[in-house]
């Protein structure tokens, strides 16, 4: 680890302003995280908060939450992340990426702030400061535009466990109605209903109207977003070196998913994409391609391969190392998914992550 830090310092001195300085510091933070040396990770993040990415604080804190490790240190890391991300929202330290509009760039910064606030609220919840976590989680829900299922779910839990049954009914029903609910939230809705009404009589009819509204909205959304335009032909190598050409799959339904390892919403969407890939695994008429683009490191192949291997995703990843294919598809932000029919026409385009695995799978199924 000391060698990595020494090299990063030397590189920074010799290449002031290089974009790779941030990547190196992210890798060092990740090394501390992967070694479970969380106290050193905290010290490193604290001393290099201006060099690591805004997502890195959330990444380390989330790992600690997932493993229920050292909540005291996790709380401090989450606080650092909230402080850093608030600064970035108010006064960005970097120039706007060329592929983002001003509003998209602002939305992304707010999204990362929301994730870090979620980590902070999640730690508070886990150390039984559930009353204090409630307002924190509410801010995280709003910053992520009420679209992140995991954040919505924890906020819903906090509402119910704090006895705010009336507000829980209002909030959870809205999450479900807009398609940003989860299976667990349906159970929470029933618990809130029982406590608020004194009985679960008529609950099924009550909940059904929100579920039906969500399905109707999704169908209408997909119908309105249906398109018909020729998909750009492309040829790329996959991670194993196989040559893949879109024209070789005429007659099949193709899902093309543009992503990058640094993209939080891309990563958040992958569990749902895994469900879909496995669901259609035996259907020879459906094919998924995950096109890795816009990577910010020199060895793009390695970082993509390592990510897929570590997470055990059954994805066929195509390497768009020169970002030519993503430009051909006129992608403005990732993740972006295209559904291409058997005639080679784009029929549907989806930008971003809907917030829940359930909604993502349902979108692709329709």
User: Has this prediction a pTM greater than 0.85?
Assistant: no
Rounded distance between C-alpha atoms, residue 288 and residue 119, angstroms: 32
Q: How far is CA 54 from CA 8, 29, 63, 95, 114, in A?
A: 18, 12, 16, 14, 11
Q: Is the distance from CB of 349 to CB of 229 less than 8 angstroms?
A: no
Edge-to-edge, what's the strand order for the sheet holding 253-259? 229-230, 345-351, 336-340, 253-259, 286-292, 317-319, 235-238, 243-245
Residue 228, pLDDT score:
87
All structural domains of the chain with their residue ranges? 2-145, 229-365
182: number of Cβ within 10 Å: 21
CA angle 286, 287, 288 (to 5 degrees): 130
What is the per-residue burial (b if ≥16 Cβ within 10 Å, else e) of 115-132? bbbbbbbbbbbbeeebee
Rounded distance between C-alpha atoms, residue 5 and residue 21, angstroms: 11
Q: Is the distance from CB of 56 to CB of 26 less than 8 angstroms?
A: yes
Rounded distance between C-alpha atoms, residue 292 and residue 317, angstroms: 7
Dihedral angle computed from the Cα positions of residues 365, 148, 288 and 251, in that order, rounded to the nearest 10 degrees: 40
Rounded distance between C-alpha atoms, residue 348 and residue 28, angstroms: 40
275 Cβ partners below 8 Å, 6+ apart?
357, 361
Rounded distance between C-alpha atoms, residue 184 and residue 203, angstroms: 16
Q: Identify the CATH number of the domain defined by range 229-365.
A: 3.40.30.10
Q: What is the pLDDT along the chain (366 residues), one digit of tens a residue?
A: 656 666 555 555 556 666 767 778 888 898 889 899 999 999 999 999 988 999 999 999 999 998 899 999 999 999 999 999 999 999 998 888 888 899 999 999 999 999 999 999 999 999 999 999 999 999 999 999 998 888 999 999 999 999 999 999 999 999 999 888 877 888 999 999 999 999 989 999 999 888 887 777 766 766 676 788 999 999 999 999 999 999 999 999 999 999 999 998 899 889 889 998 998 999 999 999 999 999 988 999 999 999 999 999 999 999 999 999 999 999 988 999 999 999 999 988 888 876 555 555 565 555
Residue 12, pLDDT score:
58
Residue 286, pLDDT score:
92
Q: Is the distance from CB of 277 to CB of 315 less than 8 angstroms?
A: yes
Tell whether domain 2-145 is in CATH 1.25.40: yes
């Amino acid at each position: 680890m000391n060698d990595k830090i020494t090299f990063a310092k030397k590189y920074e001195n010799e290449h002031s302003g290089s974009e790779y300085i941030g990547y190196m510091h992210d890798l060092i933070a990740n090394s501390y995280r992967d070694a479970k040396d969380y106290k050193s990770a905290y010290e490193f993040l604290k001393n290099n908060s201006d060099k690591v990415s805004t997502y890195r604080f959330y990444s380390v804190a989330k790992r600690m939450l997932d493993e229920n490790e050292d909540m005291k240190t996790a709380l401090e890391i989450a606080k650092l992340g909230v402080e850093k991300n608030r600064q970035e929202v108010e006064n960005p330290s970097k120039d706007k990426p060329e592929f983002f509009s001003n509003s998209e760039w602002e939305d992304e910064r707010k999204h990362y702030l929301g994730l870090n606030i979620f980590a902070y609220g999640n730690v508070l919840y886990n150390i039984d400061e559930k009353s204090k976590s409630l307002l924190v989680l509410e801010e995280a829900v709003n910053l992520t535009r009420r679209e992140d299922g995991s954040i919505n779910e924890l906020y819903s839990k906090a509402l119910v466990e704090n006895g705010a049954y009336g507000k829980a009914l209002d909030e959870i029903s809205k999450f479900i109605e807009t398609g940003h609910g989860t299976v667990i939230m349906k159970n929470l809705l029933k618990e809130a209903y029982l406590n608020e009404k004194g009985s679960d009589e008529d609950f099924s009819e009550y909940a059904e109207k929100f579920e039906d509204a969500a399905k109707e909205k999704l169908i209408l959304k997909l119908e309105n977003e249906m398109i018909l335009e020729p998909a750009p032909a492309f040829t790329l190598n996959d991670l194993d070196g196989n040559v893949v050409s879109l024209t070789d799959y005429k007659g099949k339904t193709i899902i093309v998913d543009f992503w990058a390892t640094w993209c939080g919403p891309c990563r958040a969407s992958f569990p749902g994409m895994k469900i879909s890939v496995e669901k259609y695994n035996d259907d020879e008429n459906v094919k998924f391609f995950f096109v890795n683009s816009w990577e910010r490191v020199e060895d793009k192949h390695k970082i993509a391969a390592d990510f897929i291997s570590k997470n055990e995703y059954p994805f066929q990843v195509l390497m768009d190392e020169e970002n030519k294919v993503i430009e051909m598809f006129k992608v403005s932000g990732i993740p972006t998914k295209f559904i291409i029919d058997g005639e080679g026409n784009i029929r549907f385009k989806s930008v971003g992550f809907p917030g829940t695995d359930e909604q993502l799978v349902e979108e692709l199924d329709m």
